Amino acid sequence: MRAVYFPTARDHENGSLRYAYAESSVGWLLIVIGETGVADVILGDSPRQMLSCALKRFPGMGLFPDLGAHAEWVAAVIARIEFGVLAAQARAGLDAPRYREAS
C-alpha cells in the first residue's frame, strides 16, 4: 500500500517541494518532502531517473534539493524501511535477530 500525499496550500504558495537522496538496504531512495511531511519515496538505481519520476508525479511544483533541513524526516523514512526489511526477514525465517526472554 502506498501513502497518498496531496501538496498542501502552503506547498502550492511556495510552489516547491524538497528532495533528498538516501541509501538503504533495498537500494537508493529519493525522498520528496513538503511543508507538512514526506510526499513520496521513490526507489531506483539512477538519481536522474528518480528525479524525473518525481517531476512527473508532481507536475507544476518545483523540486529543490533539501540541504539537511528535514534530516529527521529522511532518517525516519530510512528507519521505517529498515524495520520492514528486518520484519520480512524474520517472517521468512532468514537471518534475523533472535530475541530471548529474560530469565
User: pLDDT per residue over 28-81, tens digit each?
Assistant: 899 999 888 888 899 988 889 999 999 998 888 888 998 888 888 888 888 888
Domains of the chain (ranges; CATH) run 9-92 (3.30.160.70)
User: pLDDT per residue over 51-60, tens digit each?
Assistant: 999 999 888 8
Long-range contacts formed by 1-5: CB under 8 A, 24+ apart: 3/38, 5/34, 5/37, 5/38, 5/39, 5/40
pTM: 0.70
H-type alpha helices, 1-103: 9-14, 47-57, 71-92
